[in-house]
Amino acid sequence: MVQIERRKSKHRTAMGARQIYEAIRDQILGGAYEQDSLLPSSRAHAAELAVSRTTVTAAYEQLAAEGFIDIRPGARPRVAASILQQAPSTDAQTPPGPVRLAAYGQRLANFPPRRAREASRKLVADFHYGDLASSDFPTLAWKRAVIAAITRRGMPLAYDHPSGLRSLRAALQRYLWRARMLRCELDQIVIVNGSQQGLDLCARLLLDPGDRFVIEDPCYGMARRIFAATGASPVSIEVDGSGLNTERLGKIRAQLAYVTPSHQFPMGAVMPMGRRHQLLAWARRASAYIIEDDYDSEYRYDINPVPPLYGLGDAGNVIYLGTVSKTLSPTLRIGYLVVPPQLIDVFAAAKQLMDRHAPVFDQEALASLIEGGVYERHIRAVRRRNGQRRATLLKALKREFGDQVAIEGADAGLHIVVWLKTVPQTMESAIIKRARTMGLGIYPVSPLFDPQSDAPRPNMVGLLMGYASLDERQIERGIQLLKRCVRATNTAD
């Protein structure tokens, strides 16, 4: 709906066609409407503004006469395509003043948001990590669950509990015990809008400027950004075939440690029990919290699941983070924290200040899928499909490259790391660009390493290859293209 500042009710009838015309014109020139966008009908717009339909019609006719909109009988007005070629008027604009940001905003200015990727439909195969196949989403089951939630609850007219819907927290409490042997009280669970919000809550509540946080190297880049945005400094510790090297913790003093022990991101290592106990012992000595990101624990192929850190000891220093982004869809923005008892109230208060609570209908729908067994049946089915995709990828790499590649992290998760032994690190940018021109989306692992660390790095190109969004034919074709791309890059070099 076109937004026009309303006057007090006794003056609304004084709003004329000129005012309506100017407001819509300015919004079009200001970019509020895209090409071919629909405007409200004259009847609907008149009702919204409490003016006569004749007044709105006069404004629309003037906009059409000046080429801003197209009007056709029986159809809603549309923004004219040609208007996008016109520059906004600058007559009434004044130069902007200096931008004043808080310290937090100044730190965020160093982390600009990532631009949207090129649409994968333009690529033969896109190995971007984090994408899922749309065909894997349980569309019918989710639709039924949402409709049932709306039917049961009606349209809620009050805010819900900031920690989340009780029915979903209860369902997750039972699911975590069945799936991860994680025992907790219902009040310890906080529903968040995806793992990003969960990490942001932890950062805001546990870190101050000047604090330090332990983080894996390489690691999930967005986690490093979130913690660094508080003004805290990273203590990067390299990972090896057993995950975070806990021997390096020693007498390090830090307020928290962020780890992915069940499937280290991105390298894929599983932290053994000995290191888990070392990490927990360090946290107790340092009075630090451990944030355990269990982002894809549902996907195990050649290994048995290892109990989470939260299930070892008293878990008083562990905050467990889970999500449905890898099992259902990242677009749902549903995740959950399991916090120690002493943090229950402060996390609920922070969540309430941040956005009151997560969307109620989505929570209700997920709760019904979990309670009805649909969610776990879905996970088993998707695990089989992703197991087939993984097997196809590994077989294709072995066939096309043999011992010219080294593969890490293939036992679990939805991605692998592939080291191209014949392509030196200096050729990384060239091979990524060449692949794109050939219709292949590949992504380097190098940005996930700490740029400030002086730890030795591999001297070959490493690729983070997600496969959950591809079918087996795309995977086969993608690896064939990768072989051609490597050969062309080496020849050009």
pLDDT tens digits, one per residue of 259-276: 999 999 999 999 999 999
- Band of pLDDT at residue 293, cut at 50, 70 and 90: very high
pLDDT attached to residue 74 = 82
pLDDT category at 377 given cuts 50, 70, 90 is very high
483 CB-contact burial (10 Å; exposed 0-12 / middle 13-18 / buried 19+): middle
Q: Tokens for 448?
A: 């996930």
Tell me what pLDDT residue 301 has: 86
Both tokens of 94, joined, read 């004044």
Distance, in Å, from the CA atom of 26 to the CA atom of 117, rounded to the nearest integer, reads 30
pLDDT at 118 over 70: no
Asked if residue 483 has pLDDT above 80, the reply is yes
How many alpha carbons lie under 13 Å from residue 97 in its C-beta half-sphere?
2
Residue 332 has pLDDT above 70, yes or no: yes
Tokens standing for 93? 């604009």
**CA of 436: how far to CAs of 210, 407, 440, in Å?**
41, 22, 5
SS3 letters across 136-196: HCCHHHHHHHHHHHHHHHCCCCCCCCCCCCHHHHHHHHHHHHHHHCCCCCHHHEEEECHHH
State pLDDT tens for residues 125-156.
999 999 999 999 999 999 999 999 888 766 66
CA 446 – CA 488 distance, rounded (Å): 22
Greater confidence (194 vs 93) lies with 194
- Residue 210: pLDDT band (50, 70, 90) is very high
Q: What is the mean pLDDT of residues 278-297?
A: 95
What is the average per-residue pLDDT within 313-328?
A: 91
Q: Which of 82-86, 228-232, 251-255, 343-347 has the lowest mean pLDDT?
A: 82-86
pLDDT tier at 11, thresholds 50, 70, 90: very low
Distance CA 254, CA 237 (A): 13
- Percent of the chain past pLDDT 90, that is, above it, reads 68
Q: What is the pTM of this model?
A: 0.83
The span from the CA of 99 to the CA of 103, in Å, is 12
List 234's β-bridge partners, or say none.
213
Distance, in Å, from the CA atom of 291 to the CA atom of 475, rounded to the nearest integer, reads 34
Q: For the chain, how many helices (H) and strands (E)?
A: 14, 15
What structural domains does the chain harbor? Answer: 9-85 (1.10.10.10), 120-135+378-492 (3.90.1150.10), 139-375 (3.40.640.10)
Three-state DSSP at 318 gives strand
